[in-house]
Amino acid sequence: MIIGISIALILASSLMVLLVLLHKGKGGGLSDLFGGGFSSSFGGSSVVERNLDRLTVITGTVWFVCIIALGLLLKP
């Protein structure tokens, strides 16, 4: 059980990093330094952005549940 939740946590963490990096930068930060201003001219569909937001929230929820479950299972 603990191994399965740990694997799910690793997968959720990796997916979360990928999804956050896929988000379009809002400007004025590090995203512009690494080409955020250049890629914003190509623009994405608002439907794609909304689906990316939803997937990020779902992945974050799975990550949070895995953290709580591991905390409860590993509690002495």
Taking the CB of residue 59, how many other CB atoms lie within 10 A of it?
A: 20
| Per-residue pLDDT band at 4 (split at 50, 70, 90) | very high
Do residues 62 and 12 lie in contact, with contact meaning Cβ atoms separated by under 8 Å? yes
Quote the pLDDT of residue 54.
94
Mean local confidence (pLDDT), 17-41: 65
Do residues 9 and 68 lie in contact, with contact meaning Cβ atoms separated by under 8 Å? no
Token pair of 48 as six digits: 């794609």
Token pair of 49 as six digits: 């952005």
The model carries a pTM of 0.73
Rounded to the nearest angstrom, the gap between the alpha carbon of residue 76 and the centroid of all alpha carbons in its chain is 30
CA distance 61 to 21: 18
State yes or no: pLDDT of 72 exceeds 60.
Answer: yes
